């Protein structure tokens, strides 16, 4: 009789521990990557007052930005920015304080607006391949 009772108590404890782990696991799993993402976010001050020296398109997925200090950043878009690869110029839409961050966007032409998904420090963009000379 004692053995059967200990088995039921042990089973109840295991069930309780399992229930607690199942309740806590989603929060523990989301804490790590979220903290890492926040530390990787960047911003460019005075972006609307000449704080960006140069930019290069990465197709329609994102763009590299060079700040006046010479540091490079990569901004990925929340959706495809189809007009960027053929755009001759962009207008940066920064926060009211003038800071360019992941909450900012770019404006192309009159109607196209592309919103950032991320803005992170980056290495400089890869060099453009040279086109072969016609023969």
Q: How many CA atoms lie within 13 A of 89 on its CB side?
A: 3
Sheet strand arrangement including 72-77 = 52-58, 62-67, 72-77, 112-122, 105-108, 91-93
Task: For the chain, give every domain's residue range.
Answer: 1-40, 47-122
pLDDT in tens, 82-135: 999 888 889 999 999 999 999 999 999 878 899 999 999 999 998 875 555 555
For 35, phi then psi, to 5°, come to: -65, -40
What tokens were used for 113? 């607006």
pLDDT in tens, 27-56: 444 333 333 344 478 999 888 788 899 999
Residue 19 has pLDDT above 50, yes or no: no
Residue 2 has pLDDT above 60, yes or no: no
User: What span, in angstroms and rounded, lies between the C-alpha atoms of 41 and 39?
Assistant: 6
Confidence of residue 10 (pLDDT cuts 50, 70, 90): low
């Amino acid at each position: 009789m004692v053995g059967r009772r200990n088995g039921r108590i042990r089973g109840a404890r295991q069930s309780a521990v399992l229930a607690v782990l199942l309740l806590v696991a989603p929060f523990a799993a989301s804490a790590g990557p979220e903290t890492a993402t926040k530390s990787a976010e960047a911003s460019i001050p005075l972006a609307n007052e000449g704080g960006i020296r140069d930019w290069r398109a990465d197709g329609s997925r994102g763009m590299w930005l060079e700040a006046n200090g010479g540091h490079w950043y990569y901004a990925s878009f929340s959706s495809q920015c189809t007009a960027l690869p053929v755009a001759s110029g962009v207008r940066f839409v920064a926060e009211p304080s003038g800071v360019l961050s992941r909450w900012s966007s770019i404006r192309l032409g009159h109607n196209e607006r592309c919103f950032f998904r991320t803005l992170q420090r980056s290495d400089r963009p890869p060099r453009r391949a040279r086109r072969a000379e016609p023969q």
